Amino acid sequence: MSGGRYERQLSLSEIGVSGQARLGASSALVVGCGGLGSTLLFNLCGMGIGRIGFCDGDVVSESNLNRQFLHTPADIGRSKTQSAYEKLSAFAPELTLEPFDFFVSQQNAVSLVSGFDLVLLAVDSVPARMIVNNACVSKGIPLIDGGVNGFHGSLITYRPNRTSCLSCFYGETKPSKDPIISSFAPVVSVIASLEAQCAANIFLDLFNPTDGRLLLFDGLSMKTEFVSLSKNPHCPVCGSQH
């Protein structure tokens, strides 16, 4: 006899009935419906985050399919957010899913992130990271950023008024055309899954190892290391926060 969709995680002492209710009452926005976004969105749906937004203005291309498990060959040329919405609403029909079929920009970022408890970055562009970082700092919203390049992955969490923001260590970056970044599904999936775990840590008030600490992962050796990052008092984005 089935004990319900969340039976296998309700039995965890860190979650239980009250923790599951907290997850169900939480909201998260994922920026990017590509490789990181695919695994991340399935994880957020699987754990039962009650309201999930996702944003991407891109369309599916054949070269996405080595790692972007939300999309199939039949989706080539279609909107990534529409493709994602179809798969995720079939997977988790009880959740509120909000597709945003456009790229994040300076003009829309603040209104996009407003109203979400948490934002997760799943993009491969530094300028897009900075735009979302600035919006999250201005609205006081926690932000989780995952990145991949070949067999290497990275992960960090920004907590308002407590940790460095992304701009503290990226500095000021000028918009540039990003080179093609190599991507291999296992590493992409590891980093995306760790982003989801960080989200759970935040929603459940558990210790979050990437608060202000950059996690570096090497997919070949499977080694991880943490690099502590200090808040930059002269950061142009969060420097005035205490």
- Minimal distance in Å, beta carbon 157 to Zn ion? 13
- Looking at the Cβ atoms of 28 and 165, the one nearer to Zn ion is 165
Name residues whose C-beta falls within 8 Å of residue 237's C-beta, 6 or more positions apart in sequence.
133, 134, 137, 165, 167, 168
Helix, strand, or coil here: 162?
A: coil
* Whole-angstrom distance, CA of residue 188 vs CA of residue 54: 18
The contact mask relative to Zn ion for 16-45 (x = CB under 5 A, - = no) is ------------------------------
- Minimal distance in Å, beta carbon 234 to Zn ion? 9
- Looking at the Cβ atoms of 60 and 165, the one nearer to Zn ion is 165
Indicate whether 235 belongs to the interface with Zn ion (CB under 5 A). Answer: yes
Query: Could you count the other beta carbons within 10 Å of the beta carbon of residue 104?
Result: 26
CB 59 within 8 A of CB 79: yes
Q: Binding-site residue total for Zn ion (CB under 5 A)?
A: 6
* Whole-angstrom distance, CA of residue 21 vs CA of residue 132: 28
- Minimal distance in Å, beta carbon 212 to Zn ion? 11
- Minimal distance in Å, beta carbon 238 to Zn ion? 3
- Looking at the Cβ atoms of 175 and 233, the one nearer to Zn ion is 233
- Looking at the Cβ atoms of 92 and 165, the one nearer to Zn ion is 165
Name residues whose C-beta falls within 8 Å of residue 2's C-beta, 6 or more positions apart in sequence.
none
* Whole-angstrom distance, CA of residue 141 vs CA of residue 137: 6
Indicate whether 136 belongs to the interface with Zn ion (CB under 5 A). Answer: no
- Residue 181 DSSP code: P
**Gyration radius of the chain's alpha carbons:** 17
- Residue 59 DSSP code: B
- Minimal distance in Å, beta carbon 165 to Zn ion? 3
- Looking at the Cβ atoms of 128 and 165, the one nearer to Zn ion is 165
Q: How far is CA 83 from the centre of its chain?
A: 18
Position with the least CB separation from Zn ion: 235
Indicate whether 214 belongs to the interface with Zn ion (CB under 5 A). Answer: no
The contact mask relative to Zn ion for 156-185 (x = CB under 5 A, - = no) is ---------x-xx-----------------
- Looking at the Cβ atoms of 64 and 134, the one nearer to Zn ion is 134
CB 156 within 8 A of CB 132: no
Catalog residues that contact Zn ion under the rule CB under 5 A.
Answer: 165, 167-168, 235, 237-238
